[in-house]
Amino acid sequence: MLRQLLAMIAEERGVCTNDQLARRLGVSQELIGRLMGELLRLGCLRLGEVDECQPTACAGCPIHSTCEPMLGVHLWELTEKGRRWLREPPGSLQKGSLLQEKESR
């Protein structure tokens, strides 16, 4: 489910709410919060700063008309590690590739 969540975030170009993600996966927002925490801990995802948004990119943003941090919208950014994991064959996390990389730091 971690990989599926990471792929969904990538599809949304990092702009999504926990509610949107929970509905798409058919799980609770609480579970999404825990999964996001795990992706952050593994180094696959980072929380972007709202001021990192480029004004020229707003027109292409799926939520540009309602973008307000107070609405629970987050700008997520996949790290290089997260992008690499999505390119790897499914099941790579279970094989330990990301976990081993985290432990070797």
CATH 3.10.20.740 assigned to 2-103? no
Question: Residue 50 in contact with residue 30, Cβ under 8 Å?
Answer: no
Mean pLDDT of 85-92: 78
If you average pLDDT over every residue of the chain, what do you get?
Answer: 75
Give the domain ranges of the chain. Answer: 2-103
Least confidently predicted of 4-8, 9-13, 78-82: 9-13
- pLDDT score of 105 more than 50: no
Q: How far apart, in whole angstroms, are the C-alpha atoms of residue 77 and residue 79?
A: 6
Better pLDDT: 15 or 10: 10
pLDDT band at 61 (very low <50, low <70, confident <90, very high): low
Q: What is the pLDDT of residues 17-35, one digit of tens each?
A: 788 899 999 999 999 989 9
The residue with tokens 């790897």 is 88
Helices (H), ranges, 13-88: 18-25, 29-42, 80-87
